[in-house]
A and B are shown apart, each in its own frame.
Chain A
Amino acid sequence: MEGLFEFLFKYRPVLFQEGEVVLGTSWSTGLLVGAVALAGVVAVVTYAAAGGKARPRERTLLAILRLAVLGVITFALLQPTLVISSVVPQRNFVGVLLDDSRSMNLPGEDGAPRRTWMEETFGPEGSQLVDELSERFALRLFRFSSETSRVEAVGELGFQGTRTDVAGALTRAREELSSVPLSGLVLVSDGAENGAAPLSDAIIPLQAAAVPVYTVGLGAEALAPDIQVSRVEVPGTVLKGTASLVDVVITQRGFGGRTVDLLVEDGPRIVAEETVELGNDGEPIVVRIPLTLEESGARSLRFRVPVAEGEAVPENNARDRLVNVTDRTEKVLYFEGEPRWEMKFLRRAVEDDENLQVVVLQRTAPDKFQRYDVDGPEELRGGFPRTREELFRYRGLILGSVEASYFTRDQLQMISDFVGDRGGGLLLLGGRSAFAEGGYAGTAVEDVLPFYLEEPAPDPRGAFQPLTVSPTPAGLNHPVGQLGGAGWDDLPPLSTLNRVVRLKPGATALLTGSAGDEERIVLAHHRFGRGKALGLPVQDTWLWQMHADVPLEDQRHEILWQQLLRWLVDGVPEPVSLILGRERVEAGESVQITASVADSAYIALNDARVVARVTHPSGAVTEQSLAWSVEEDGEYTGSFVPRESGTYAVAVEATREDGVLGEASTILQVGPSQDEYFDAGRRTPLLRRLAEETGGRFYTPSTVSNLPEDLRFTGAGVTLTEERDLWDMPIVLILVLGLLGTEWGYRRIREMV
């Protein structure tokens, strides 16, 4: 297409894009136009007045053709000229950035390693491309992977880099060549970008400096045959023994319909295994694999699909993920407004779970309370907590059948804040004094609920409704829905006194119940502020333990409550929390430390002293103070650069004048990255975007021969103005001859000649 354009218009499209078309005639434009107009009038009049049998429509068409010929001739007579800036030979520089990462060893389109083209083109034997570039520009070569540096020859590249930091490379080259006239940068890469900085960080300064980037994409866009573990979604922190669902995305080419094993390995042990049927060729599949980790501490899990024969990239069949398995006791406050069986059986269901402590406050009579499983005589001595500090020490809160009027307005707001500000988990159970029947409409707690409250039943007992409970599709894919064994089959019906049928936007129903023709919500949840809220408007899940249809050995009631409460407190923040910018880096890469600090009422503090303690693999310990980020209340940041490979332990401690606010810790894996082998096909969209946004062009090895010519007319660097005639473009002659021929042919057909 570009060749045809060049044939018709004499020059390649890029010259028209970069240049400007002007009229170069020295004649009076007005005089010339007037003469042509006169000729046109004569032509029209002649056609109109000529004798013969031609009809008016035919005369009009012939006049138009004749006028078109005159128009083209007039254009040519005006001496159209292409004015373009071209670089002054050997006065400008071009930076050539060569990808030095491991992925360049992967096969290219022709089957040979991608590096081969680079070595041949920029090698010592030279090439036409380099020769043409060298004729006009002073070339500066750079190699880049995780770092960027100047090289004199391609032989200095080792192709062992573990990252492709395109943004870093562009920035480095631009900065290094900022003092010389720079016509552009040439990026030779597969585009498998996996650097830390976003690409836009590099593009914007290039746009500001008007430095175009010309990209040369190497390799095929898709590698086949290949199986890749593309993504693993795993929680960063889990409670020991909690069943989690991990999403693993597997992509493949050339193995469509095959069955493979997905293994989850914790060191030498396989902790989970799933047989997976791959989808159609090229279609990714999501595998949801249940995972329960029984060993506490930081666990490095490997999600692996055994390598199949003939795979193009065996290295992308496994991904490592770090999971911090905590073995602490999560404290949940359960406030029950009256003696109920639900409380007894809930306590029993979770009593074997060493990581859950359900502290029960039960109102047995007005202003009379029983406390169970408290840590000491002072805990909950005054009944339901009256201060944020007292309530926020719990990570989860369960409200049973207790009317809203029992609480003060402040306490209701505090319950809302427990979820929204503190980030705790709130679970509301059904009952005669719960939800609408408990008078929660219009309270702060109503806002937290995942569903809307209906009109309260005049007599809750009259609203009694048996429900046959079943999980929703979302429930089946939720940790709470993993009952194991018989699943949700054959569980006896439950009952409710609270009609709940409408979810709030963004909420998810996990269980529903059939009440005749109406479907009721049995379990729903949503995020609210920093925390989560769940509603379970049934009153007798204990029947799943006690009912005669449930075998004694059936553990589903226990599993349900353990999973439900573990999920309730999962991810609930502490007053002091710690996040690292990345969980795995290479030695020498900077790691950002971010700590969030709040007091026991979870009010962000900006005047704390926060110290990060880094324990290196060698055992050495370094400390540094983190500074308030200013951007966010309670956020403190700092960074460090690990120099050793291995596992680093990072801990922060926040203190104030009145004592220690809290501590948090995590680990960091330092070692070579395997990222280069994932999504290792040529990323044409990225390379094309980079070129287009900076005014450059995208090439492949087959089209890169235009690069030297294109670079001449970028307008960047030291340039001179060239004027190129356009009147002699072949298109002009073709149009004149074509139009005249058409006129003549038409007249022949119509027998006017």
Chain B
Amino acid sequence: MRILVSTALMLAAVSLAGMSVVGPTTHSLEWWSEVREGDPSTGTGGALYRLAALVLPLAVPLGGQELPPSPDLDPRALLLESRGEGGGPGSHWEFYFTRAIYSEYQGGWGWGRRARWATDYPKADHQFLVVLKRLIAIDAYGGENAVRLDDPEIRRFPFLYALEVSRMNLTDAEVQGLRDYLEAGGFLVIDDFWGERALQNLAYQLNRVLPGRLIRPVAMDHPIFSTVYALEEIQQVPNVGNGRRGGPTTECWGCEPMVFGISDDRDRLMVVINWNTDLGDAWEWAEDPWYPLQYSTFAYKMGVNMVAYAMSH
């Protein structure tokens, strides 16, 4: 029912803009490419944004700025320190859970100075890795590993995790860095962003990265849902607050979880987009007795599957 409501709202919004659309229940989702072709502030994409702003009363932050160096967080120093400087003894691990540091729109609604890429960081990363190493026989580094998208070093880590992308605003260097990363064989997982506007912003950013590639729903018979664990449905994983309270799992009205993907020319997933769900919180708070086990179980299964898929396809 909620999917139907969500879809109806989107169809209504887009039809107000006079666009021809195909709903997300189909597997083509050409409408996303339409969205991605427009700048949020201009063109048809802009019209959609404006309409979305009416439907979803969120201010659209315009005029992106590059992420300034954070004086209290130097990810490069953190990275080198945690992985071992210069590739010396003890520095090699097969798998690094790598978190993407990206630029975002400044001002407007947000969490103040706290960069959104660092949401749940690093506890969620640590917790996920602890469980990952128990579930599969992987040689994984147990610490956090955050790398900027425009850092060439990112190409050493073919698995990348990004979240809270509703305000993502990539610089040209980041666009180029992420494009090269994905085209070379890297794998990007996106998590914990909610609502149509956030998805539209992501679509716009990804269209800059991978122009011409469509965002499509990932069908349940896709191998990513069965690589290690057979998942029969996509659960909406709530944030820690909602989960503890036993309240609604969604963070926006009518939002249903979906998994989208962008595939390469051989139909292998390059990007997996976990929309309207918060796997990261479930990893971060899995040990909390008040957080429902079913959500963290699903989140870990999905996480393991994504890692296993990324390392095999």
A497 contacts the other chain (Cβ, under 8 Å)? yes
Tell me which residues across on chain A come within 8 A of B87, comparing CB atoms: 464, 466, 495
Q: Which chain A residues (445-477) contact chain B, with CB distance < 8 Å?
A: 461-464, 466
Whether A339 touches B185, Cβ cut-off 8 Å, given contacts A461-B90, A546-B156, is no
Q: In whole angstroms, how far apart are the Cα atoms of A548 and B308 in the complex?
A: 23
- Asked if residues A543 and B156 are in contact (CB atoms below 8 Å), the reply is yes
Please determine whether B312 and A552 come into contact, CB atoms closer than 8 angstroms: no
Given A339-B95, A347-B312, A466-B87, also A546-B137 (CB < 8 A)? no
Residue B71 at the A interface, CB < 8 A? no
Q: Are B89 and A462 neighbours in the complex by a CB distance under 8 Å?
A: yes
Chain B nearest CB, measured from A522 CB (Å)? 16
A547 to B156, CA, bound (A): 6
Which A residue's beta carbon lies closest to that of B266?
A: A351
- B154 contacts across to A, CB distance below 8 A: 548
Query: Looking at the complex, which one of B90, B135, B152, B227 makes contact with A464 (CB distance below 8 Å)?
Result: B90
Our pick among A341, A360, A547, A552 for the contact of B94 (Cβ within 8 Å) is A341
A338→B158 contact, CB < 8 A: no
- Report A83 CB to chain B, min CB distance, Å: 90
Main secondary structure on A side of the interface with B: mixed
Indicate whether A545 sits within 8 Å of B311 (C-beta atoms), given known contacts A339-B94, A340-B94, A365-B136: no
Residues in A whose Cβ lies below 8 Å from that of B91: 464
B90 cross-chain contacts in A, Cβ below 8 A: 461-462, 464
- B183's closest neighbor in chain A, by CB? A552
Complex Cα distance, B155 from A542, in Å, reads 11
A327 to B95, CA, bound (A): 38
- Chain A residues closer than 8 Å to B137, beta-carbon distance: 337-339, 363-366
Question: How many residues on A have C-beta within 8 angstroms of the other chain's C-beta atoms?
Answer: 38
| B257 beta carbon closer than 8 Å to chain A | no
Residue B92, interface by CB 8 Å: yes
Is A370 part of the contact surface with B, judged by Cβ < 8 Å? yes
- In chain A between 538 and 589, which residues have their CB closer than 8 angstroms to a CB of chain B? 539, 542-543, 545-550, 552
Among A337, A339, A348, A360, the one with the most B-chain Cβ atoms within 10 Å of its Cβ is A339
A552 touches B158 (CB 8 A): no
Complex Cα distance, B152 from A543, in Å, reads 13
Q: In the assembled complex, which residues on chain A have CB atoms less than 8 Å from the CB atom of B184?
A: 545-546, 550, 552
Our pick among B152, B153, B312 for the contact of A339 (Cβ within 8 Å) is: B312
Query: Judging by beta carbons under 8 Å apart, are A370 and B308 in contact?
Result: yes
Among B94, B138, B228, the residue within 8 A (CB) of A370 is B228
B203 contacts chain A at the CB level, 8 A cutoff = no
A552 & B180 in contact (Cβ 8 Å cutoff): yes
Residues of A within 8 A of B313 (CB): 344, 347
- A548 and B89 within 8 A (CB): no
The tally of residues in B whose CB lies under 8 Å from a CB in A reads: 33
Q: Which residue of A lies closest to B90 (CB)?
A: A461
Q: In the docked arrangement, what's the CA distance between A635 and B221, Å?
A: 51
Q: A345 in the interface, Cβ–Cβ < 8 Å?
A: yes
* Cβ of A694 under 8 Å from chain B: no
Residues of chain B contacted by A466 (CB below 8 angstroms): 87
Residues of A within 8 A of B186 (CB): 546
Contact residues, B53-104 vs A (CB, 8 A): 87-92, 94-95
B288 within 8 A of A: no
The yes or no answer to A372 lying at the interface (CB within 8 A) is yes
Chain B residue contacts of A548, Cβ below 8 A: 152-155, 180
Q: Is the CB of B135 within 8 A of A344?
A: no
* Beta-carbon contact of B312 and A370 below 8 Å: yes
A82 to B94, CA, bound (A): 92
Complex Cα distance, B22 from A165, in Å, reads 82
Distance of A339 Cα from B306 Cα, bound (Å): 12
CB pair A338–B139 under 8 Å, yes or no, is yes
Q: Contact: A339 with B158, CB < 8 Å? A: no
The verdict on A240 contacting chain B, using a C-beta distance below 8 Å, is: no
Instruction: From the candidates B185, B307, B311, name the one contacting A546 in the complex (CB within 8 A).
Output: B185
> Once the chains bind, are B312 and A495 in contact (CB under 8 Å)?
no
Chain A's nearest CB lies how many Å from the CB of B138? 5
- Which residues of B lie under 8 Å from residue A362 when comparing CB positions? 312
Q: Which residues of A contact B227 (CB under 8 A)?
A: 370
Q: How far is the CA of A495 from the CA of B139 in the complex (A)?
A: 15
The CA-CA distance from A547 to B180 in the complex, in Å, is 10
Residues of A within 8 A of B180 (CB): 548, 552
Chain A residues whose CB sits within 8 angstroms of the CB of B129 once the complex forms: none
Residues of B contacting A461 with CB < 8 Å?
89-90, 92
| Distance to closest chain B CB from A411 (angstroms) | 19
Closest to A495 in B: B92
Given contacts A344-B185, A344-B313, A372-B312, contact A338 B94 (CB under 8 A): yes
A369-386 residues with Cβ-Cβ distance < 8 A to B are: 370, 372
Residues on B with C-beta less than 8 A from A337 are 137
Q: How far is the CA of A362 from the CA of B309 in the complex (A)?
A: 12
- Which of chain A's residues has its CB closest to B135's CB? A365
Closest Cβ of chain B: how far from A444's Cβ, in Å? Answer: 24
Nearest-neighbor residue (CB-CB) of B177 within chain A: A548
**CB contact under 8 A between A338 and B138, given known A343-B311, A344-B185, A497-B92:** yes
Question: Which of B94, B95, B138, B185 is A345 in contact with, Cβ under 8 Å?
Answer: B185
Q: Does A432 contact B (CB under 8 A)?
A: yes
Assuming the contacts A340-B311, A341-B94, A370-B228, asked whether A348 and B185 have C-beta atoms less than 8 A apart, the reply is yes
- Report Cα–Cα, A463/B89, bound state, in Å: 7
Residue-wise interface mask of A (229-259) relative to B, using a CB-CB cutoff of 8 A (1 in contact, 0 not): 0000000000000000000000000000000
B280 smallest CB distance to A (angstroms): 21
> Would you call B92 and A341 a contact (CB within 8 A)?
no
Q: Pick the residue among A343, A368, A547, A550 that contacts B312 (CB under 8 A).
A: A343
A364 nearest in chain B by CB position: B136
- Is B310 an interface residue, CB under 8 A from the partner? yes
CB contact list, A131-151 vs B, under 8 A: none
Distance in angstroms from B305 CB to nearest chain A CB is 11
Bitwise interface map of B from 147 to 172 toward A, beta carbon under 8 Å scored 1, else 0: 00000111110100000000000000
Is A464 touching B92 in the complex (CB atoms < 8 A)?
A: yes
Tell me, in angstroms, the Cα distance from A432 to B95 when the chains sit together.
13
A400 CB to nearest chain B CB (Å) = 11
Using an 8 Å CB-CB cutoff, how does the interface string of B282-313 with A read, 1 for contact, 0 for none? 00000000000000000000000001101111
Q: How far is the CA of A547 from the CA of B307 in the complex (A)?
A: 20
User: What residues of A have a CB within 8 angstroms of the CB of B135 in the complex?
Assistant: 365
B136 and A339 contact, CB distance less than 8 A:
yes
Q: B82 CB to closest chain A CB, in angstroms?
A: 15
Minimum C-beta distance from A549 to chain B (A) = 8
Q: Which residue of B lies closest to A497 (CB)?
A: B92
Which residues on B sit within 8 Å (CB–CB) of A550? 184
Complex Cα–Cα for A543 and B153 (A): 11
1/0 contact string of A332-358 vs chain B (CB within 8 Å): 000001111101110110010000000
Q: Complex: how many Å from CA A547 to CA B184?
A: 8
Neighbouring A residues of B139 by C-beta, 8 Å:
338, 340, 432
A345 nearest CB neighbor, chain B only: B185
In the bound assembly, the distance between CA atoms of A490 and B269 in angstroms comes to 30
Q: Please, which residues of chain B bring their CB within 8 A of the CB of A539?
A: 94
**Considering the chains assembled together, what is the distance between the CA atoms of A368 and B136 in angstroms?**
9
Residues of B within 8 A of A547 (CB): 155-156
Known A-B contacts A432-B139, A546-B158; the reply to A339 vs B307 at CB < 8 A is yes
Interface residue ranges of B107-150 to A (CB < 8 Å):
135-139
11 contacts between A and B (CB under 8 A): A337-B137, A338-B94, A338-B137, A339-B94, A341-B158, A341-B311, A344-B313, A347-B313, A363-B137, A366-B137, A461-B90
Point out residues on B near A: beta carbons under 8 Å: 87-92, 94-95, 135-139, 152-156, 158, 180, 183-186, 227-228, 266, 307-308, 310-313
The 3 closest A-B pairs by CB, nearest first: A548-B152, A548-B155, A339-B311
Q: Which residues of A contact B (CB under 8 A)?
A: 337-341, 343-345, 347-348, 351, 360, 362-366, 368, 370, 372, 432, 461-464, 466, 495, 497, 539, 542-543, 545-550, 552
- Taking A339-B312, A343-B311, A547-B155 as given, write out 12 further A-B residue pairs in contact, using a Cβ cutoff of 8 Å, ordered by the A residue number: A338-B137, A339-B308, A339-B311, A348-B185, A360-B312, A364-B308, A463-B89, A464-B91, A546-B155, A546-B156, A548-B154, A548-B180
